[in-house]
Amino acid sequence: MAKAPKKTKSSPIAKSPASSAGKVPVKGGTRVAEESGSRSAPIINIGIERQDRAAIAEGLSRVLADTYTLYLTTHNFHWNVTGPHFNSLHAMFMAQYTELWTSTDVIAERIRALGHYAPGSYAEFSKIATVPDVPEHPPKAMEMVRILVKGHETVSRIAREFIPVAEEAGDDPTADMLTARCTVHDQTAWMLRSLLEE
């Protein structure tokens, strides 16, 4: 008796960007987290399904784009801040941009560990970032603080969107990393917001 041919699942990676729309919010229909690897490398087998790794990598790519944009804004403000609070803000912004810079590496390397390429160009980041680009002309010091408050709150919200995606896939390292990022962004937003209170 001839065996019936096996049914093969169509690859969720090959589907259109909208195929993950129920699971991962996509900005402007842009897919960024391209799958990496080659035929000579072993298939990734870390206990997370391929389609889940793709969804998580997409989310992390958005978090990376927003984190990098916020890093650049903070570094710009460190260079360009003026006024009576120059010394304290110059030092505070340096501590903040250093932390953000370090975190971009952690996020990007997690994307790579999941088997996808991390976005790393201004063109890619501009397509998927929610945090606005640095203002063309440096604003006054307290307006810089307001902009950074909004930026940190935005990154925290975006990161929170993807914690359940990682948890459902059993990706505890990503869920833990995103939770830690939310803690940093929430605390930084609070500290900056405190400067605006009279």
Residue 5 has pLDDT above 70, yes or no: no
Confidence band for 42, pLDDT divided at 50, 70 and 90: confident
Provide the pLDDT for residue 44: 80
Render pLDDT for 146-198 as a digit per residue (tens, 0 to 9).
Answer: 999 999 999 999 999 999 999 999 999 999 999 999 999 999 999 999 999 86
Provide the pLDDT for residue 27: 46
Choice between 25 and 103, residue whose per-residue pLDDT is larger: 103
Is residue 27 within 8 A of residue 62, CB to CB? The reply is yes
Provide the pLDDT for residue 43: 81
Q: Identify whether 8 is part of a domain.
A: no
Q: Identify whether 2 is part of a domain.
A: no
Render pLDDT for 44-75 as a digit per residue (tens, 0 to 9).
Answer: 888 999 999 999 999 999 999 999 999 999 99
Where residue 159 sits, what CATH number does that domain have?
Answer: 1.20.1260.10
Q: Identify whether 36 is part of a domain.
A: no
Mean pLDDT of the chain: 85
Provide the pLDDT for residue 129: 96
Confidence band for 38, pLDDT divided at 50, 70 and 90: low
Provide the pLDDT for residue 95: 98
Q: Identify whether 7 is part of a domain.
A: no
Choice between 34 and 54, residue whose per-residue pLDDT is larger: 54
Q: Identify whether 35 is part of a domain.
A: no
Provide the pLDDT for residue 10: 39
Residue 24 has pLDDT above 90, yes or no: no
Domains of the chain: total: 1
Q: Identify whether 89 is part of a domain.
A: yes
Q: Identify whether 17 is part of a domain.
A: no
Q: Identify whether 107 is part of a domain.
A: yes
CA proximity to 41, closest of 115, 111, 97, 101: 115
Domain containing 99 equals 46-195
